[in-house]
């Protein structure tokens, strides 16, 4: 391997995997049979592996990197695959420091093989560990090894892999680099699901025993899967054995971000169900949209909240197909426009059809039937979902043009972030009869607007507090006092943000926050007969699944297929008057048409 090739390859690996051996994570990886990788050493180093294995066979006085004689390739030696690249990397500052060791698995007789190894290492003294070079490379000898009593006869840079369940204080611990055993001595687990508890306990006890002597532990022949890597990490295995160092490093590096532990469970409201599904006149319609909120997101919140949610108390539910007019996978603009207008449109378009023609939305249409209306969101008011209910514009990012539609809308109330986007609209909003308030309190105004933040609102975990539930309670009270039918859209916007960021904590905390607002709405429906509550999503974000969790501790692990929207169907829940009408599987546009069918049945212009 020439200098240019190895240098460029390492840089590519570090860029590709976003990892560096300079930055050690909380986990450590053992690159098992590393010499079989397409690019030995550099692949493991690029993945941040701290233990790198090479099998050696002594043949004709040369140390060949191979598992058996039949696979020997004269070009593949410990020098060419490992020692030369390491020396070169240090010389050229590609390897800033050595924070890994080589596990040398001897396949030929120990004493004669080690004699040749010592001679070979004379050319690498400047790389090796010593009293004068405490940051140097160490070799841990595995496979065929000398007797423990002879360990002391070998140089400081050479340590040994102890392989026995029998551990005692009189072992030569100063020359033992790690303790390794076959995983099969403890368990027959295949890495799927969970390990049998009795077997897991035996493994844990041995790990703890090794640690009591201040040494690291590794298990060879262990399952090599995400479930296994996670289990071994949680049990404290020091060097997680894998043939897939890049995949293991990627998974384990994201594990902390992918796992969420809920420390603040909320109680759920028990609906009365007295008029749930009843064919009584619909007076109020409340549409709640969890942006990006798919079944996995709901499930994650459910499991982290003691296996109960306000949302999952509901009995009438269905599935919604979310495709846009011009794309299989919708964005929030097209998805919300379908709910607001009953027509599919192109991605990025707000309140217009696929040809750019303005469409009437629910607040404007329902005004003709005597309905008041409002919008509450954790997003900025020019965000795609809320804007779909008052604006008519083909590009969701044109905030200046979008904001100009607000004063022309039939909305009676809005509560959102993004006040600076409307700074030029102050007079128009005032002329339209909006009173801009600075807090959620008693007001006699007919139309109100409240910009809670000049720009984006904080996420729930960043200190947003009880904004959504308090705004929802205020909005319901404000609209109800008008003594007219009303339509209210409530959006939880940041479930989507969590999906885009593959951030489990954001997804679950935002969904749990949404669920508390759902409780307010369901309770309102129980107290105000004729209220129809619809809870759904514009699309799913992240391609989320839940590989593991623990209901008792409120812990869930989320996995991600994407950092974008997906085309999977989203759940829809309904409660109250005519909630049974929302069962089934249908297009997102049907939500609008189902609402309008009920409005026309019980109200006239």
What are the residue numbers of the active site? Answer: 332
d(CA 523, CA 536): 18
Asked if 137 and 129 touch (Cβ cutoff 8 Å), the reply is yes
**DSSP line for 569-594:** -EEEEEEETTGGGG-EEEETHHHHHH
How close are the terminal C-alpha atoms of the chain, in Å? 81
d(CA 366, CA 374): 11
- The residue whose two tokens read 């109250």 is 576
HSE at residue 221, side-chain half, CA atoms within 13 A, is 10
Asked if 24 and 99 touch (Cβ cutoff 8 Å), the reply is yes
Task: Tell how strand 158-162 and strand 139-143 pair up.
Answer: parallel
Closest CA to 288 of 469, 438, 440, 448: 469
Distance of CA 548 to the CA centre of its chain: 13
Residue 488: phi, psi to the nearest 5?
A: -130, 130
Closest CA to 376 of 472, 455, 515, 484: 472
Enumerate long-range contacts of 15-18, CB under 8 Å, 24 or more apart. Answer: 16/46, 17/46, 17/47, 17/246, 17/249, 17/250
- The residue whose two tokens read 């306990």 is 201
Q: In sequence order, what are the residues at sequence separation of 6 or more whose Cβ sits closer than 8 angstroms to the Cβ of residue 119? A: none
CA distances from 421 to 305, 370, 395, 410, 529 (A): 37, 30, 15, 19, 38
d(CA 93, CA 605): 78
What is the four-CA torsion angle of 567, 571, 577, 578, rounded to 10 degrees?
A: 60
Residue 579: phi, psi to the nearest 5?
A: -65, -30
Q: Is 7 helix (H, G, I), strand (E, B) or coil?
A: helix
d(CA 373, CA 412): 5
d(CA 216, CA 207): 8
**DSSP line for 134-166:** TTSB-EEEEES---GGGGGGS-TTEEEEE--S-
Enumerate long-range contacts of 298-301, CB under 8 Å, 24 or more apart. Answer: 298/511, 298/571, 299/546, 300/260, 300/504, 300/507, 300/508, 300/511, 300/544, 300/546, 300/549, 300/556, 300/558, 301/508, 301/511, 301/512, 301/515
Looking at the DSSP bridge assignments, the partners of residue 417 are 380
d(CA 520, CA 48): 49
**Ranges of H-type helices in 287-371:** 295-304, 332-341, 362-367
């Amino acid at each position: 391997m020439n200098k240019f090739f190895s240098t460029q390859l390492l840089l590519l690996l570090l860029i590709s995997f976003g990892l560096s051996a300079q930055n050690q994570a909380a986990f450590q990886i053992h690159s098992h049979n590393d010499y079989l990788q397409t690019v030995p050493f550099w692949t493991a180093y690029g993945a941040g592996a701290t233990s790198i294995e090479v099998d050696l066979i002594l043949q004709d006085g040369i140390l060949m990197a191979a598992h058996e004689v039949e696979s020997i390739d004269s070009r593949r030696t410990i020098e060419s695959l490992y020692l030369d690249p390491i020396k070169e990397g240090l010389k050229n500052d590609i390897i800033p420091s050595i924070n890994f060791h080589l596990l040398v698995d001897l396949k030929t007789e120990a004493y004669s093989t080690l004699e040749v190894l010592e001679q070979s290492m004379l050319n690498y003294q400047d790389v090796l560990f010593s009293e004068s070079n405490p940051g140097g490379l160490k070799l841990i000898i595995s496979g065929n090894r000398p007797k423990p009593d002879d360990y002391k006869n070998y140089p400081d840079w050479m340590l040994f892999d102890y392989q026995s369940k029998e551990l005692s204080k009189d072992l030569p611990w100063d020359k033992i680099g790690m303790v390794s055993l076959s995983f099969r001595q403890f368990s027959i687990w295949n890495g799927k699901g969970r390990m049998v508890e009795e077997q897991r306990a035996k493994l844990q006890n041995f790990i703890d025993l090794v640690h009591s002597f201040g040494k690291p532990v590794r298990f060879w022949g262990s399952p090599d899967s995400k479930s296994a890597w996670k289990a071994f990490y949680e049990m404290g295995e020091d060097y997680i054995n894998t043939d897939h160092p890049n995949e293991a490093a990627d998974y384990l590096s994201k594990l902390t971000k992918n796992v969420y532990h809920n420390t603040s469970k909320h109680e759920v409201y028990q609906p009365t169900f007295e008029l749930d599904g009843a064919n009584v006149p619909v007076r109020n319609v409340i549409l709640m949209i969890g942006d990006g909120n798919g079944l996995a997101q709901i499930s994650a919140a459910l499991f982290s909240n003691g296996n109960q949610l306000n949302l999952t108390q509901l009995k009438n539910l269905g599935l919604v197909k979310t495709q846009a007019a011009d794309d299989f996978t919708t964005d929030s603009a097209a998805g919300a426009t379908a709910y607001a207008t009953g027509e599919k449109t192109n991605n990025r378009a707000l309140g217009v059809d696929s040809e750019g023609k303005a469409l009437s939305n629910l607040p404007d249409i329902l005004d003709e039937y005597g309905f008041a209306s409002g919008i509450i969101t954790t997003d900025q008011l020019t965000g795609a979902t809320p804007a779909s209910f008052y604006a008519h514009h083909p590009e969701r990012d044109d905030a200046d043009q979008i904001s100009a539609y607000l004063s022309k809308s039939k909305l009676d109330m809005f509560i959102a972030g993004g006040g600076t986007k409307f700074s030029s609209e102050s007079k128009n909003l005032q002329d339209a009869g909006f009173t801009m308030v600075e807090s959620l309190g008693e007001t006699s105004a007919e139309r109100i607007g409240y910009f809670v933040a000049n720009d984006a609102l904080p996420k729930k975990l960043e200190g947003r507090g009880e904004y959504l539930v308090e705004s929802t309670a205020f909005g319901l009270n404000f609209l109800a006092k008008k003594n007219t039918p009303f339509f209210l859209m409530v959006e939880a916007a940041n479930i989507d943000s969590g999906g885009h960021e593959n951030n489990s904590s954001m997804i679950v905390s935002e969904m749990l926050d949404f669920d508390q607002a759902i409780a307010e709405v369901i309770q309102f429906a129980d107290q105000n007969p004729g209220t129809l509550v619809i809870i759904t999503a514009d699309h799913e974000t992240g391609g989320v699944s839940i590989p593991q969790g623990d209901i008792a501790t409120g812990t869930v692990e989320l996995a991600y297929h994407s950092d974008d929207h997906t085309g999977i169907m989203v759940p829809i829940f309904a409660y109250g008057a005519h909630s049974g009408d929302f069962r089934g599987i249908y297009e997102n546009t049907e939500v609008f048409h189902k609402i309008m069918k009920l409005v026309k049945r019980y109200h006239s212009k």
